[in-house]
Structure 1
Amino acid sequence: MQTSRRSLKRITQAVTTAVLAMATGHAMAEDAELATQFEKRFSAQYKKIKDPANGYFSPEGIPYHSPETLMVEAPDYGHETTSEAYSFWLWLEAYHGRQTGDWAPLKKAWANMEKYMIPSAADQPTNAFYNAAKPASYAGEHPLPKDYPSQLEFGVPVGQDPIGTELETAYGTRNIYGMHWLMDVDNWYGYGKCGDGVTRASLINTFQRGAQESVWETVPHPSCDTFRWGRNGGTQGFLSLFTADSNYAKQWRYTNAPDADARAVEAVYWANVWAKAQGKGAEVADLVKSAAKMGDYLRYSMFDKYFKKVGNCVGGPYNCQAGTGQPNGQGFRDNQHYLLSWYYAWGGANDTNAGWAWRIGSSHNHFGYQNPMAAWVLSTNAEFKPKSASGQADWGKSLTRQLEFYRWLQSAEGGIAGGATNSWGGSYETPPNGTATFYGMFYDEKPVYHDPASNTWFGFQAWSMFRVAEYYHATGDAKAKAVLDKWIPWASKNVRFKDDGSYTIPSTMEWSGQPDNWNPNAPGANAGLHVKVTKRNADVGITAALARTLIYYGAKANDAAAKTLAKRLLDAMWTNAKDAKGLAVPEKREDYLRFDDAYDANTGSGVYVPGGWVGTNAQGATIDANSTFLSLRPKYKQDPDWPKLQAYLNGGAAPTWKYHRFWAQADAAMAMLDYAMLIETPW
């Protein structure tokens, strides 16, 4: 009897083991099939983006902001491009290399970016005259476009630039290695390259006049101003719309969007990881060096705009002290906030015989631009170590400061609030009593721009928190996890699924209150800082960014709910938004009524041009006090979609568009491969 019991036990154990093995094998087979499905989605989306018939790229191989041309948001025309689009292109090609082992497209993308989006030596010809002891002359920022031009004040003390000389020593040049943010790919405006009027892929700018200047109030102008266009008379170009001076010189000037350059570093990091795993690290080695170099120059975004002291810099521009650039007892420079601010910029004279050059950082810091992943790579990875003397250490300090910034700005609900400024009102004014502080900088609910308020867009939440999740996944840092542990449930509960299979995610938010004063030793609970979701949509790009955040967090924290929600979102997006060009959903653009808005002095809406200021642009439009967004861009009336918009301006119903923004298409593709990688590898 005893022998029979033992035999029965063995049989039972054997059957159980067999059943478990079958179940495990079945689950593994299902996982493999699911991973293959998501890999196929990536491939399908990638092919659509790269298909010339879909119009994502120019004849020069430059990625358009969108293949659709009638498009107004930050870029004011769809066939412009941005450093943002370039960074997503690099990232997309890194994912393609991971899947196929083919790294040639990534190398081609970086070369294209270097050729067109990073100003060449000829495009920034007078950097040799740059004086790091006086980086730039001061001109204050003002609330409204009507407060411009801003007077240049040469007597205002400005601080020392502590990295200019070390960058020159490291790289043997005074030229800046960073992307300008905006390009007129098709030369639609007609400025050409440095005033030639014909060369395509010309660098331009729009925003220049304070936080209230939305895209609808901008006056587009060339980055290299030769006075061929602008104010009549040929002695000022466009300059006198922005700065007031007794004499104007023909000049070049560029503005960097730090989040894009940081994203480029991020992309090359992953390319290096994956290429080395394939035994092909040598194929991307030069890109690694270039990305580290870009990160070295990106540190200009970590400085106060005029290199003034960071912290309690109030009382006006004359009272706020100039920074020395010297480190304090903890090794932090007195004019460096160590965050990724809204921009850095540089410029100089066209005339090399009477040369001068300038550089500025930015005093305004938005949480949405931070990138702890790039900071970690540049501060800890030997292959990405910047060549400059202090580059690696600066990025290490930036990593710490960025993580603190997120924690300081996290609302009671979990969403991340706006940011902080070292220059209240853009002119180092004194903020209201009781304004919360972060290392002496002041809480700003809507840093940089107010129309619409910069922190109402949920996209910044998904973009930035993905980078936190990516960093957490790579390092397991408990500080990053603590922020995500609160953000993920808040974002997740604000996703809505409908019975028909469609869904919505947050699109617009409202904020109230402010954070507690920052104490790194005892962070506050921010019980008085609140966020409320007010509008929802199914935006493709932000859905992808949210799903990617859930994927990376879910994989590291082993959070089944996050992983399940990510898959559900990606499935719903693929089902509901797929079309011949990629993924897109209809968008009702009621804001397009602003195309022909005249300037309203009471509201500040419309294009402001000072009385008596009269000029022309390269589309042949008159620039004067009667200008509108449309009158400055008469070529819009030649657009294939113009009749649809004209009907709306004539009183018809608000039209809808389907836009295939390059960054959104790339993000959606990468989200699919992220999910496949989550299944294939336990991470």
Structure 2
Amino acid sequence: MTRRTTALMAAAVMAAGGVPAMAAPAAVACTVSYQVTNEWNNGFGASVSIRNDGDALNGWNLTWTFPDGQRVTQGWNGNFSQTGAVVTVTNPDWARTIPAGGSAQVGFNGSKGATNRPPTDFAVNGVACTGPNKAPTVALTAPTGGSTYTLPAQIPLAATAQDDGTVAKVDFYAGDQLIATDTSAPYTGTWTSPTPGDHPITARATDDRGLVGSSAPAMVKVLAGPAVLASPSTVSVKQGQTATFDVSLATAPSQPVTVTIAGTGSADLTATPTTLTFSGTAKQTVTVRSANNGGELATATFTASAPGHSPATVTVKEIDPSTSDFNKAFLDQYNKIKDPASGYFRKFGDLLVPYHSVETLMVEAPDHGHQTTSEAFSYYLWLEASYGRVSGDWAPFKSAWASMEKFIIPAKADQPTNDSYNASKPATYAPEHPRMDRYPAVLDSSIPVGSDPIAAELKAAYGNSDIYGMHWLIDVDNTYGFGRCGDGTTAPSYINTYQRGSSESVWETIPQPSCDTFKHGGPNGFLDLFTKDASYAKQWKYTNAPDADARAVQVALLAQEWANAQGKGAQIAPEIGKAAKMGDYLRYAMFDKYFKRIGNCSSPSSCPGGTGKSSAHYLMSWYYAWGGAYDTSAGWAWRIGDGASHQGYQNPLAAHALANVPALKPLSATGQQDWATSLNRQLEMLQWLQSADGGIAGGVTNSWEGQYAAPPAGTPTFYGMYYDAHPVWRDPPSNRWFGFQVWGLERTAALYRLTGDARAKKILDKWVPWAIANTTTGTNFQIPADMEWTGAPDTWNATNPGANANLRVRVLNRNQDVGIAASLAKVLLNYAARSGHAAAKTTGEGLLTSLLAHQDSLGIATPETRADYNRFDDVYNASNGEGPYVPPGWTGKMPNGDQIGQGSSFLSMRSMFRNDPQWPKVQSYLDGGPAPTFTYHRFWAQAEIATAFALHAEIFG
């Protein structure tokens, strides 16, 4: 029963009791938003907004009780008084009324002690403001994700929904198609006319005020009828040898079913057995044998069929018997990754978008497995380029580039106000902080910033002001429900997580939309979690991961070389030109964050803004970012680079390509020159950071702690920038992970193989023996996992580099990370191909052979124990600064209604994980059980493995 109906019923009783009838009093229903807008040692400022959810008010009285002894010292837009802890605000004469659905806002400054918790007992005219104040929450309970249905089918639908007010209805959707509606609990329905295919099913609850909440999607498969399944759908077999594929039934039969295997095409390919009997859905294996008779390479199609079932087909292609085992391993891995049944991609029309992982319960840099990153797209390009080299078919490579351009490079409509960008004032300074509880960071226009020296030439070269670069993170299934610019439905959707300095781990992030229209979060969306300003405007903002864009350029270089060798370079010339364009914009990663002068910055006010290229460090920094007003009439936009550069992000091969390869020459006036400088600077930095043991230390920054602070005395420098053992983030320390060693050195080794660069060889000559000494091959292979660093490099002297005798590294532990093992193999094989280093070749091949021992139906993977999953339910701990931090007084909500505030945990802001099929393992761990073990299939890792096989075939096969 709502508050409005209660008030009207009371008036009716009074009239029925013989008292003269009177007009009913105004029914009060209200929502109050309380927001701390500023805070200092012993004081704070706040705003309080009243939304009238009842009848029109003619005169209002707002009250609340402070919980921590706060006192109002100054107020505005209302008449303030305070008795003890109770504050009363009455309307000013000029704002006496609040119409139904209208609002009023008051503000004040106050005094406080050590704590400043927000009030919770707001009331208007004596009525508690407990009316609806958030969107309804809804969870889909049927169907379950991964379910398969056979036509004719009626798919049952069910959901639970809650709201502070009344749930008016629950709609069920298959993708964007409305398939059922229920207006009362229990909320159920039936999809009576499903169509064949894979469908994301969601439930959307609408309350009596029109607020909408959406559930996480559940993917279901609808078959045209009972069906036979076969995987992979494409198989390669060496002439004269054998290969296998799996057959199963999509749904369990009511009685045994016999499946017949029949082949068409070349009789040189035969399958055994030719019949299989199924009583359930377990897979059975079919072996294909290729006749050892030489001749033309054959192709055959095998059809697995059964009465009353849709058949499945598998295409088997012979490959040359002299083809290396690793070339065949590439094709086998490629076929598994591209098989729709494997689940690595979601299809949008004719384009594929790779997931971060097949599995959904996955937390690392992305905080959900069905998000994806620019890194994944760059590996998608590499996978398809390698396939083009092997097969001569470049259509998949072109399709991968088209997908990247459509889904993760923001279109004009996604960055609409770039034309208002002022290159002489690129962005307002806000310091970064080493602890999250120092956020939101205060924007400070008094701090000098430099000018952007490349904006004008980029616009002149490409005819517009838009940025051609990937945003680093998208929500492929729109699991969070942000949609595009708050529409709640569009998938994929641009999102972001990290925003708060070096201590913010993934477990402490608060997801937010890249286009913040204030529809979700708090009154200012999510903006006031990160920066503090006098007012906030709806805006869009994107962050580029230079590592991924540089890898895309690197892949374009390789693709061009391979396609030209086949006489097919013209087929991919448009994509190669776009790679050059991407590299032109990637130069923003070469500049200090606020375009300040490079070198010897020790305070934000004394470090001057740069002019010309004086703000360029010419390295691959951790990011560049850009944004602007959502309102196209507002007229502002901004851009920033980054002064912190990690060794693992450097890509001297991409720099070489953009500086020296004609097809990849940027169109801008100084792009090619900048990349030539960058090539030299990157190789210098890697040499400067090489430890006495061989490993490459962390990186360098022009802005100590992200706020141009003075570093500790004696900190070594590189062109006036400061050595940082763990640049960018500290939880966990960024250069602890061995993966950054091999990602960076793979590019250096490829540069050496392709060009013979002596500087690259010098670095590798020292690094490779160290890596081999810490690696073992075989089924139980072991590679470095975590490292510990001591000492520091010598200050860089380009004419007489130091030996870094005091800079040391120790491998702390080892693991079986399949993706990093493949990356390490690439380093060793590239190096061996040019240098003839026998141990590098042997170890690289040994790692690839080791990986083949860990094959499964989806690819190559090993189990991993996730002890860090104990952080799912961590809340903020002020003593150590760990846990998700929400500023005092800040409250908001996620699109599904998950609340954000003090005491929020990673899980409480992501309640959809509780519905994941793998969640019980994590819950058991949180309840005191053992750490859970998962076998993950990360897209980048599977592609890295495939392309490592392809590399061996290319250079040794």
Provide TM-score, normalisation by structure 2: 0.66
Q: 2:334 aligns with which of 46, 66, 77?
A: 46
Asked whether 1:210 is paired with 2:474, we answer no
Q: Distance in 2 between matches of 1:677 and 1:561?
A: 19
| CA deviations over 1:154-179 (Å, ceiling 9, x no partner) | 11110010000000000000000000
Asked whether 1:673 is paired with 2:953, we answer no
Q: Distance in 1 between matches of 2:757 and 2:930?
A: 51
Q: 2:680 aligns with which of 393, 396, 400?
A: 400
Q: 1:571 aligns with which of 840, 849, 863?
A: 849
Read off the aligned partner of 1:127 and give its amino acid letter: N
> How many Å apart are 1:33 and its aligned residue?
6.0
Q: 1:135-214 to 2 correspondence within 5 Å? A: 135-214=426-505
Structure 2 residue runs of 5 or longer lacking an equivalent are 1-319
SS at match of 1:269: helix
Alignment partner, residue 330 of structure 1? none
Contact map agreement 2:777 2:843 (CA 8 A) in 1: no
Q: 1:643-682 to 2 correspondence within 5 Å? A: 643-680=920-957
Contact map agreement 1:506 1:535 (CA 8 A) in 2: yes
SS at match of 1:176: coil
Which consecutive segments of 4 or more residues in structure 1 shift more than 2 A?
A: 32-36
| CA deviations over 1:290-347 (Å, ceiling 9, x no partner) | 0000000000000000000000011x2111111012xxxxxxx211000000000000
| CA deviations over 1:65-122 (Å, ceiling 9, x no partner) | 0010000000000000000000000011000000000000000000010000000000
SS at match of 1:253: strand
Q: 2:875 aligns with which of 576, 594, 598?
A: 598
Contact map agreement 2:777 2:846 (CA 8 A) in 1: no
Q: 1:117 aligns with which of 392, 408, 417?
A: 408
Alignment partner, residue 516 of structure 1? 794
Alignment partner, residue 324 of structure 1? 611
Contact map agreement 2:379 2:940 (CA 8 A) in 1: yes
SS at match of 1:340: coil
Read off the aligned partner of 1:83 and give its amino acid letter: S
Q: Distance in 1 between matches of 2:875 and 2:708?
A: 32
Contact map agreement 1:619 1:633 (CA 8 A) in 2: no
Read off the aligned partner of 1:323 and give its amino acid letter: G
> How many Å apart are 1:601 and its aligned residue?
0.6
SS at match of 2:712: coil
Q: Distance in 1 between matches of 2:875 and 2:610?
A: 43
Alignment partner, residue 89 of structure 1? 380
Q: 1:412 aligns with which of 681, 692, 716?
A: 692
SS at match of 1:59: strand
Q: 1:386 aligns with which of 662, 666, 672?
A: 666
SS at match of 2:353: coil
Contact map agreement 1:364 1:423 (CA 8 A) in 2: yes
Q: 1:540 aligns with which of 815, 818, 821?
A: 818
Contact map agreement 1:35 1:677 (CA 8 A) in 2: no
Asked whether 1:587 is paired with 2:864, we answer yes
Alignment partner, residue 614 of structure 2? 334
Contact map agreement 2:370 2:475 (CA 8 A) in 1: yes
Asked whether 1:554 is paired with 2:832, we answer yes
Q: Distance in 2 between matches of 1:642 and 1:563?
A: 42
Alignment partner, residue 58 of structure 2? none
Q: Distance in 2 between matches of 1:481 and 1:269?
A: 20
Q: 1:434 aligns with which of 700, 708, 714?
A: 714
Q: Distance in 2 between matches of 1:243 and 1:580?
A: 47
Alignment partner, residue 294 of structure 1? 582
Determine which structure has greater relative contact order: mean sequence separation of CA pairs < 8 Å that are 6+ residues apart, divided by chain length: 1
Read off the aligned partner of 1:68 and give its amino acid letter: E
Q: 1:257-406 to 2 correspondence within 5 Å? A: 257-314=545-602, 316-325=603-612, 333-406=613-686
More moved, 671-680 vs 515-524? 671-680
SS at match of 1:352: coil
Cα pair distance change 1:497/1:101, threshold 3 Å? closer
Contact map agreement 1:35 1:675 (CA 8 A) in 2: no
Read off the aligned partner of 1:70 and give its amino acid letter: L
Read off the aligned partner of 2:792 and give its amino acid letter: Q
Q: Distance in 2 between matches of 1:480 and 1:513?
A: 24
Q: Distance in 2 between matches of 1:375 and 1:392?
A: 9
> How many Å apart are 1:592 and its aligned residue?
0.1
| CA deviations over 1:258-293 (Å, ceiling 9, x no partner) | 000000011111111111110101101001100000
Q: 1:627 aligns with which of 882, 888, 904?
A: 904
Alignment partner, residue 105 of structure 1? 396
Contact map agreement 1:34 1:676 (CA 8 A) in 2: no
Q: Distance in 2 between matches of 1:432 and 1:136?
A: 28
Alignment partner, residue 462 of structure 1? 742
Q: Distance in 2 between matches of 1:673 and 1:254?
A: 34
SS at match of 1:473: helix
| CA deviations over 1:540-598 (Å, ceiling 9, x no partner) | 100000001110100100111111111111111111x2111001100000000000011
Q: CA RMSD, aligned part only?
A: 0.9
Contact map agreement 2:829 2:840 (CA 8 A) in 1: yes
Q: 2:894 aligns with which of 596, 599, 617?
A: 617
- Equivalenced residues, count: 635
Read off the aligned partner of 2:771 and give its amino acid letter: A
Provide TM-score, normalisation by structure 1: 0.92
Contact map agreement 1:150 1:244 (CA 8 A) in 2: yes
Contact map agreement 1:158 1:306 (CA 8 A) in 2: yes
Q: 1:531 aligns with which of 809, 830, 834?
A: 809
> How many Å apart are 1:673 and its aligned residue?
1.2
Read off the aligned partner of 1:477 and give its amino acid letter: D
Q: Distance in 2 between matches of 1:125 and 1:678?
A: 46
Q: 1:15-30 to 2 correspondence within 5 Å? A: none
Contact map agreement 2:898 2:911 (CA 8 A) in 1: yes
Alignment partner, residue 724 of structure 2? 444
Contact map agreement 1:35 1:679 (CA 8 A) in 2: no
Read off the aligned partner of 1:55 and give its amino acid letter: G
Q: Distance in 2 between matches of 1:301 and 1:551?
A: 29
Q: Distance in 2 between matches of 1:46 and 1:287?
A: 22
> How many Å apart are 1:35 and its aligned residue?
4.4
SS at match of 2:324: helix
Read off the aligned partner of 1:105 and give its amino acid letter: P
Alignment identity in percent?
60
SS at match of 2:638: strand
More moved, 388-397 vs 472-481? 472-481
| CA deviations over 1:335-385 (Å, ceiling 9, x no partner) | 100000000000000011112000000010001000000000000011110
Contact map agreement 1:119 1:180 (CA 8 A) in 2: yes
Contact map agreement 2:358 2:370 (CA 8 A) in 1: yes
Q: Distance in 2 between matches of 1:303 and 1:522?
A: 26
| CA deviations over 1:595-627 (Å, ceiling 9, x no partner) | 001111111111000111111111211110110
Q: Distance in 2 between matches of 1:617 and 1:90?
A: 33
Q: Distance in 2 between matches of 1:157 and 1:657?
A: 49
Q: 1:256 aligns with which of 536, 544, 550?
A: 544
Q: Distance in 1 between matches of 2:770 and 2:443?
A: 46
Q: Distance in 2 between matches of 1:654 and 1:214?
A: 20
Q: Distance in 2 between matches of 1:497 and 1:200?
A: 42
Read off the aligned partner of 2:447 and give its amino acid letter: V
Q: Per residue, is there more strand in 1 or in 2? A: 2
Q: Distance in 2 between matches of 1:602 and 1:197?
A: 37
